Amino acid sequence: MTSTDRNTRPDRSAGTAPGPEPGGAPPARRAADRLLRLARHPYWDRASPAYRVRRWPDLTALCLATAFFWSSLSPSLVPRPWYLQGIVGGITAAIGYALGSTLAWLFRALVRRRPGEPVRTRCWQAYWLLAPLATLWLVSESARTQRRLRVLQDLPPSLTWHTPMIALIALALLALALLLARLVRLGAVTLIRLLGRLLPRPVAYVTGALLTALAVLVGVRDIVYDRGIVDVADRIAAATNGGTKAGIERPVSRYVSGGPGSLLGWDSLGYEGRNFTGSTPTRAALTAWSGRPARDPVRVYVPSTPPVAFADASPFAAQAALAVRELDRTGAFDRSVLAVAGTTGTGWVDPNVAEALEYMHRGDTAIVAVQYSYLPSWVSFLVDKEKAGQATRALLDAVRARLDTLPPDHRPRLVVTGESLGAYAVEASFGSAARLLAETDGALLLGPPDFSPVSRELRRDRDPGSPVWRPRYDGGRHVRFGQFPATDLARPAARWEHPRVVYLQNASDPVVWWSPNLLLDRPAWLSRPLGPDITPEIRWFPFVTFWQTSVDMAVSYGVDAPHGHRYGAGAVDGWAAVAPPEGWTDADTTRLRAYIGHRRAAY
């Protein structure tokens, strides 16, 4: 603000803000007088047109921010704690404020008439009277809907819902966003004024706006994202990759990577690789469970290092070749079933999926996986999710080439599996349902993300009348979906032919349904009928549902299977449908499901 601006600044005591108080009045009287003046004039105007930013929030923007906050209180896919509700509310309120501010600016630019002082005062008074009351009521209602959702997903209905803290977190985030936006605006206006001394005003305005946008873009992308979020996630993941989960020890079996005679050292396998191979069930454990002779299972895992994870595609061919050599060393091609497992961003393989197959076949199995990164899945998705499909495709090509050298009647059944980003890795390596069915003897895929190409194709081309959360494709002849697999997989009346593909897909899994399209498009999974564990109070709101589902992914493990991103022992039913051993019965499935479901996962 210039010195001229300061000299011409009007006295705020003239109605725009409380003025000096008589020194002799009691404190209570002074407070009452101040509140009365504020009630008569419940907002501040810009003290001078020369002020570069508004000092008091815009009423239109504030109303839209409040409406967005109210919409964020609606339930979503999984129950969320109160602090995440505050974060969702703050983010969506900031979006609403930005939209409202834009609309108000357009109105002021297009319409010359302004509401008179009495009208503005009444509008502000109505806002301060109604908004807090409506907010308290809606926050209380949100607690009720959260309790109902918890019941639907088999959680205790008790819930801690700190109404004041939810509002405070949302207000703090909104205030922070508003402060940052005003700082950017102040910087832009200052830059334009400086450029205006050297350039014509239209040129100065365009140049200043472009430079400001470039500075914001570079700051967010290079400093906040690349050097902030990604670097921190990388350092944390690298530190974790050097450890091992408590209770996991180096295997003594020569049939697993990292064990005696392995081509890969135990220390080189990384965190998830050591967990995977170090938790392999023993022949004694498999024999004790089945009561029949068993074999030591084969587990092969080829790790990734940062140069492999982020270089070109050629290292994946080297990984695949090493995996095949390790499979040959362990005698994997003499087993009855060979499973290629897609891994998540960290290299994780679901222990329930692996052990269900091994117990079912009494160890006459081989499971192989390659790691393409050690970063969390959400970072891998943002950085380069294409590596997941490239690594898995290279492994599948190498395994298939080795199988082709064997006599057809001496080849193991080739099946594929993966969960979450691991399911995407498998799907991306095939690209279509037809190719998946043509090149494998079956597949078990759990919680595939929305961007997975095969499951997206299957949901898009589902049979008429089947909901997207339990689609029926080609009458269920080769592919079936289930949330409650014991009943869902038997639901289609058509004959189930081999090869079979089983998808375990929970209606309440935010990983399955998250998509940028949620910003502006109403998703099909909100169409009636809703999934069995989705509350009828759920609604779609532009922008809001996107952030709700984003936050849902962070708490999708806070529920029990088969809800959220939890699939528990459902893999038992999946494998029993896809690749059962000879003589396997429904009673065996029930017994193994109970065993897998009631014991603690190895990692």
Strands 442-446 and 413-419: parallel
Phi, psi of 204 (to 5 degrees): -65, -40
Evaluate if residue 6 carries a pLDDT over 50. no
Mean pLDDT of 335-354: 95
Token duo for residue 151: 């019941």
Which of these ranges, 41-50, 204-213, 288-297, has the smallest mean pLDDT? 41-50
C-beta separation of 320 from 398 below 8 A: yes
Length of the chain: 603
Helix (H, G, I), strand (E, B) or coil at 262: coil
Helix (H, G, I), strand (E, B) or coil at 373: coil
pLDDT of residue 261: 95
Evaluate if residue 377 carries a pLDDT over 80. no
Q: What is the pLDDT of residues 201-240, one digit of tens each?
A: 888 888 988 988 888 888 877 777 667 676 776 677 777 7
Spatial strand order in the sheet of 365-370: 298-302, 365-370, 337-342, 413-419, 442-446, 500-504, 479-482
**Which residue type occupies 289?**
W
pLDDT of residue 406: 95
Mean pLDDT of 441-467: 96
**What residues pair up with 481 in beta bridges, in sequence order?**
503
Q: Count the neighbouring beta carbons within 10 Å of the beta carbon of residue 49.
A: 7
Mean pLDDT of 361-375: 92
Q: How far apart are CA 543 and CA 537, in angstroms?
A: 18
Q: Of the candidates 365, 369, 330, which has an alpha carbon nearest to the alpha carbon of residue 349?
A: 369
Evaluate if residue 93 carries a pLDDT over 60. yes
Phi, psi of 434 (to 5 degrees): -60, -40
Q: What single DSSP character describes residue 457?
A: H
Which of these ranges, 49-63, 192-206, 495-509, 567-581, has the smallest mean pLDDT? 49-63
Q: What is the pLDDT of residues 544-593, one digit of tens each?
A: 999 999 999 989 999 999 999 999 999 999 999 999 999 999 999 999 99
> Could you give the count of Cα atoms lying within 13 Å of 569 in the half-sphere of its Cβ?
15
Q: How far apart are CA 240 and CA 244, in angstroms?
A: 8
Mean pLDDT of 339-358: 95
Token duo for residue 23: 């020194």
pLDDT tier for residue 190 given thresholds of 50, 70 and 90: confident
pLDDT of residue 346: 87
Token duo for residue 124: 């502000």
Site of tokens 């690298």: 238
Cis peptide before 467 (omega within 30 of 0): no
How high is the mean pLDDT of the chain? Answer: 88
Evaluate if residue 11 carries a pLDDT over 60. no
Mean pLDDT of 126-136: 92
**What residues pair up with 340 in beta bridges, in sequence order?**
368, 416
> Could you give the count of Cα atoms lying within 13 Å of 121 in the half-sphere of its Cβ?
10
Q: How far apart are CA 370 and CA 340, in angstroms?
A: 9
Residue 298: in which H helix or E strand, if any? Answer: strand 298-302
pLDDT of residue 10: 43
Q: What is the DSSP string of 173-195?
A: HHHHHHHHHHHHHHHHHHHHHHH
For 187, residues 6+ apart whose C-beta sits below 8 A from its C-beta are 212, 215
C-beta separation of 556 from 565 below 8 A: yes
C-beta separation of 163 from 141 below 8 A: no
pLDDT of residue 492: 78
**What residues pair up with 370 in beta bridges, in sequence order?**
302
Is the pTM higher than 0.95? The answer reads no
pLDDT of residue 382: 66
Q: What is the pLDDT of residues 520-530, one digit of tens each?
A: 999 999 999 99
pLDDT of residue 112: 77
CA 310 to chain centre: 22
C-beta separation of 479 from 473 below 8 A: yes
Q: Of the candidates 283, 274, 415, which has an alpha carbon nearest to the alpha carbon of residue 341?
A: 415
Cα dihedral 191, 197, 203, 205, rounded to 10, equals: 30
Evaluate if residue 120 carries a pLDDT over 70. yes
- Give 138-177 as a 3 state SS string: HHHHHHHHHHHHHHHCCCCCCCCCCHHHHHHHHHHHHHHH
pLDDT above 70: percentage of residues in the chain:
90
pLDDT tier for residue 310 given thresholds of 50, 70 and 90: very low
C-beta separation of 88 from 543 below 8 A: no
pLDDT tier for residue 437 given thresholds of 50, 70 and 90: very high
The 10 Å CB-count burial string (b at 16+, else e) for 408-432 is: eeebbbbbbbbbbbbbbbbbbbbee
- Give 15-42 as a 3 state SS string: CCCCCCCCCCCCHHHHHHHHHHHHHHCC
112 vs 468, which has greater pLDDT?
A: 468
Site of tokens 């697993």: 256
The listed range with the strongest mean pLDDT (11-15, 130-134, 158-162) is: 130-134
Q: How far apart are CA 233 and CA 243, in angstroms?
A: 16
pLDDT of residue 369: 97
Q: What single DSSP character describes residue 220?
A: I
112 vs 278, which has greater pLDDT?
A: 278
Mean pLDDT of 113-128: 84
Evaluate if residue 100 carries a pLDDT over 80. yes
Mean pLDDT of 434-459: 96
Dihedral sign, Cα of residue 483, residue 486, residue 492, residue 497: positive
Q: How far apart are CA 99 and CA 114, in angstroms?
A: 20
Helix (H, G, I), strand (E, B) or coil at 598: helix
Q: What is the pLDDT of residues 390-420, one digit of tens each?
A: 999 999 999 999 999 999 989 999 999 999 9
Rounded to 5 degrees, what angle do the CA atoms 554, 468, 578 make? 85
pLDDT of residue 40: 73
Rounded to 10 deg, the angle between the 544-554 and 59-72 helix axes is: 40
Evaluate if residue 307 carries a pLDDT over 70. no
Q: How far is CA 164 from CA 169, 285, 436, in A?
A: 9, 53, 52
pLDDT of residue 50: 59
Q: Of the candidates 418, 387, 355, 399, which has an alpha carbon nearest to the alpha carbon of residue 593?
A: 355
Q: Of the candidates 257, 409, 407, 237, which has an alpha carbon nearest to the alpha carbon of residue 328?
A: 257
> Could you give the count of Cα atoms lying within 13 Å of 505 in the half-sphere of its Cβ?
27
pLDDT of residue 48: 63
